[in-house]
């Protein structure tokens, strides 16, 4: 292979990698949210079983512990209640919350960057012309000329 085809292949593989990474991020975020909901539910169930709390108190204890607020009004007193809090909330819940927050911010920033650079995917748009960025000066004239050129193309005339 010559160097030009290698360069084009490398550029295309980078583009595909970026798409996969972006899709990977959103699917990871969804998986982590589901896993966090499971951890919260399982810990609440453990608090009901081990600490004899009602469902609301168990959920309250779980959420204040997972968010690291910890008001201290309710706490685990038995060994198994404390053990499940250490393993589920301190070991998994807080870590998951940090990962979810990080993933969410990263996805928002990458979407903003893609929008700024004109690399957003517009799968739900059909039969549209997307104009990104126009000249700072005399933009009306630029757009009039652009629309005139588009209307004169044979592809545009044959469809409409």
Where does residue 96 rank: exposed (0-12), middle (13-18), buried (19+ CB within 10 A)? buried
What's the rounded Cα separation, in Å, for the pair 136 and 39? 53
- pLDDT score for 120: 73
What's the rounded Cα separation, in Å, for the pair 139 and 133? 10
* Cβ atoms of 85 and 65 closer than 8 Å: yes
Domain ranges (residues) in the chain: 3-121, 124-160
| CATH class held by domain 3-121 | mainly alpha
Give tens-digit pLDDT for 19-77: 555 555 678 889 999 999 999 999 999 999 999 999 999 999 999 999 888 888 888 89
Per-residue pLDDT at 16 exceeds 70 = no
């Amino acid at each position: 292979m010559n160097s030009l085809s290698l360069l084009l292949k490398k550029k295309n593989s980078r583009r595909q990698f970026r798409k996969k990474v972006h899709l990977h991020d959103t699917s990871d975020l969804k998986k982590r949210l589901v896993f966090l909901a499971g951890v919260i539910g399982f810990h609440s169930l453990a608090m009901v079983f081990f600490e004899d709390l009602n469902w609301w108190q168990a959920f309250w204890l779980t959420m204040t512990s997972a968010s690291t607020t910890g008001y201290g009004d309710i706490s685990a007193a038995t060994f198994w209640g404390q053990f499940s809090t250490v393993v589920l909330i301190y070991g998994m819940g807080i870590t998951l919350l940090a990962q979810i927050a990080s993933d969410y911010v990263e996805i928002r920033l990458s979407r903003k960057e893609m929008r700024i650079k004109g690399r957003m995917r517009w799968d739900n748009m059909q039969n549209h012309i997307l104009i990104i960025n126009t000249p700072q000066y005399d933009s009306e004239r630029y757009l009039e000329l652009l629309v005139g050129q588009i209307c004169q193309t044979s592809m545009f005339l044959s469809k409409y």
